Amino acid sequence: MTEAPFLPRERLFKQQHYFQNLTKHTYLKGRYDVITSVAIPLALAASSMFMIGRGVYNMSHGVGKKE
């Protein structure tokens, strides 16, 4: 027993041919693509670097150490 494909084979080949023959980039087309793939990772990296730097500063100066 076989299942029916999601798309007809001819339509799938047509779409593959279209996307493989594009000369310009297909990513970062709109505003929201830039937000999700650039801004969020940059914010995550910046906040983690800030927290690591703050932790190193606190450890080297003995901040929060129990007496």
Comparing 25 with 54, the larger pLDDT belongs to: 54
| pLDDT value at residue 26 | 66
- The mean per-residue pLDDT over the stretch 5-29 comes to 80
pTM, to two decimals: 0.52
| pLDDT value at residue 1 | 65
Residue environment code for 43-53, b if the CB has 16+ CB neighbours within 10 A, otherwise e: eeeeeeeeeee
The pLDDT tens digits of the residues spanning 33-67 come to 878 888 899 999 999 999 999 999 999 999 988 87
Is a pLDDT exceeding 90 seen at residue 29?
A: no
